Amino acid sequence: MTDEGRLERTAARGLRAKALLDDELLTGAFDALEARYSAAWRQTVIDDVAGREKLFLAINIVGKVRDHLGAILANGKLAEAELKELAQTAERGRRLGVF
């Protein structure tokens, strides 16, 4: 795959990640999961160390999924900027008769 093709794929993934992060259903699901896991974590009995650890991990996984989507979005924005720069460079080359 060419660099331009890879950039286009990365930019498209960024747009999909943005749509997911902007989706009220998904953000509501993340918020609800975090709230439920936090409430359950706070209600564990003192000797339920394993239960607290599992809930702590669950809370962190929700955050990691959000962070992962945010990274895909950021990479997509960078790819869009690179594609724009490539297009501008190609246009300048055409104007000057280089290409």
Single pTM value for the model = 0.82
Half-sphere exposure of 79 (CA within 13 A, CB side): 19
The single-letter code of the amino acid at 14 is: G
CA distance 23 to 19: 6
Identify the pLDDT of residue 81: 95
> How far apart are the two ends of the chain, measured CA to CA in Å?
22
For residue 39, the Cα-to-chain-centroid distance in whole angstroms is 26
Per-residue pLDDT of the chain (99 residues; tens, 9 = 90+): 578 999 999 999 999 999 999 999 999 999 999 999 999 999 999 999 999 999 999 999 999 999 999 999 999 999 999 999 998 888 887 777 765
CA distance 43 to 22: 32
